[in-house]
């Protein structure tokens, strides 16, 4: 049986999504159907699919699916697009909205200037809190990949990140190395691989090879994880501007259990219907 899905295509710093109202339009998609929709030639094309639903514990719930169909727990750029979608669709008259995700409740706020600030919650850093790493004894360690030894900082923003510092992010082997780090045996749940170039203590350039989606033009949780890693290593100071290929994000973190605050754009590109 086919169904007709109404969707909104959105982007946040170039990380692109389709957002679907699952409240008025309840449905289920298989991983294969999501892969087809995500395909840039045979489908609509997107990095992640976001599904807005009702919640018993927050204003809304949203679910996140990578382009390969895997469901994941957190998405920073998606959280900004989520609030823009909810406000534009008049699903709420609030501009600061609590949203249940698979890794807890976060609160995105649509600012008067059109940017969105998200309280992403505290990063998880200790090995016991970063269960995505097998056998980790510390959150910064050496990983053997492709006959190289790479120093990685492991940070969970609700989803797993392995961040490394590079001299020049433009020539870093983000796809070649990132695709191997993503599936490295140390990461049983796979991982998002970040490549960060430090420009100065308040500015980095970042590229991320995302788990389940490949390299994207920006990764919100990746930006939070990179800034947290840089601050932990004594190389960065809050606030930090993150320049991604698709735009800029601003990240602030006061350390410890304080939340990571992320500010950036969220833009609706077009709406459409697709038979699936």
Ligand X SMILES: N[C@@H](CCC[C@H](N)C(=O)O)C(=O)O
- Residue ranges for the known binding site for substrate are 15, 48, 66, 76-77, 159, 192, 210-211, 220-221
Under the binding rule (CB under 6 A), the answer on residue 213 touching ligand X is yes
Under the binding rule (CB under 6 A), the answer on residue 261 touching ligand X is no
Q: What is the largest CA-CA distance in the chain?
A: 56
Under the binding rule (CB under 6 A), the answer on residue 117 touching ligand X is no
Sign of CA dihedral 110, 242, 254, 232: positive
Per the residue annotation, which of 13, 75, 229, 242 is the catalytic one? 75
Under the binding rule (CB under 6 A), the answer on residue 210 touching ligand X is yes
Tell me, yes or no, if 81 is annotated catalytic.
Answer: no
Under the binding rule (CB under 6 A), the answer on residue 211 touching ligand X is yes
Smallest distance from ligand X to CB 262, Å? 9
Smallest distance from ligand X to CB 190, Å? 7
Smallest distance from ligand X to CB 275, Å? 26
Under the binding rule (CB under 6 A), the answer on residue 221 touching ligand X is yes
- Please write down the HEC assignment for all residues of the chain: CCCEEEEEEEEECCEEEEEEECCCCCCCCCHHHHHHHHCCCCCCCCCEEEEEECCCCCCEEEEEEECCCCEECCCHHHHHHHHHHHHHCCCCCCCECCEEECCEEEEEEECCCCCEEEECCCCECCHHHCCCCCCCCCCEEEEEECCEEEEEEEEECCCEEEEEECCCCCCCCHHHHHHHHHCCCCCCCCCEEEEEEEEECCEEEEEEEECCCEEECCCHHHHHHHHHHHHHCCCCCCCEEEEECCEEEEEECCCCCCCCEEEECCEEEEEEEEEC
Number of residues that bind ligand X (CB under 6 A): 19
Under the binding rule (CB under 6 A), the answer on residue 99 touching ligand X is no
Tell me, yes or no, if 75 is annotated catalytic.
Answer: yes
Under the binding rule (CB under 6 A), the answer on residue 48 touching ligand X is yes
Under the binding rule (CB under 6 A), the answer on residue 207 touching ligand X is no
Under the binding rule (CB under 6 A), the answer on residue 86 touching ligand X is no
Among positions 139, 216, 238, 263, the unique one binding ligand X when judged by CB under 6 A:
216
Among positions 219, 228, 249, 260, the unique one binding ligand X when judged by CB under 6 A:
219
Per the residue annotation, which of 166, 219, 223, 236 is the catalytic one? 219
Among positions 8, 21, 66, 232, the unique one binding ligand X when judged by CB under 6 A:
66
Under the binding rule (CB under 6 A), the answer on residue 263 touching ligand X is no
Q: Which is nearer to ligand X, 22 or 247 (CB)?
A: 247
What residues are annotated to the active site?
A: 75, 219
Q: Which parts of this chain interact with ligand X (CB under 6 A)?
A: 15, 47-48, 66, 72, 75-78, 159, 192, 210-213, 216, 219-221
């Amino acid at each position: 049986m086919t169904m007709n899905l109404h969707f909104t295509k959105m982007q946040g710093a170039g990380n692109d999504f389709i957002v679907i109202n699952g409240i008025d339009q309840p449905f289920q998609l298989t991983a294969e159907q999501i892969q087809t929709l995500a395909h840039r030639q045979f489908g609509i094309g997107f990095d992640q699919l976001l599904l807005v639903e009702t919640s018993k514990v927050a204003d809304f719930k949203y679910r996140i699916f990578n382009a390969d169909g895997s469901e994941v727990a957190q998405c920073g750029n998606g959280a900004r697009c989520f609030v823009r979608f909810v406000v534009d669709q008049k699903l709420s008259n609030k501009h600061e909205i609590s949203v249940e995700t698979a890794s807890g409740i976060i609160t995105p706020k649509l600012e008067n200037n059109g940017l969105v600030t998200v309280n992403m919650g505290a990063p998880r850093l200790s090995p016991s809190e970063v269960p995505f790493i097998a056998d980790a004894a510390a959150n910064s360690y050496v990983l053997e990949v492709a006959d190289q030894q790479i120093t990685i900082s492991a940070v969970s923003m609700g989803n797993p990140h392995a961040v490394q510092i590079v001299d020049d992010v433009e020539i870093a082997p983000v796809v070649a190395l990132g695709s191997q780090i993503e599936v490295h045996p140390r990461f049983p749940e796979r991982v998002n691989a970040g490549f960060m170039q430090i420009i100065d203590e308040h500015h980095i350039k970042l590229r991320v090879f995302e788990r389940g989606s490949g390299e994207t033009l920006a990764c919100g949780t990746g930006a939070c994880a990179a800034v947290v890693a840089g601050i932990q290593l004594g190389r960065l100071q809050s606030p930090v501007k993150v320049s991604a290929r698709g735009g800029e994000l601003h990240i602030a973190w006061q350390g410890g259990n304080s939340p990571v605050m992320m500010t950036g754009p969220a833009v609706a590109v077009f709406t459409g219907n697709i038979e699936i």
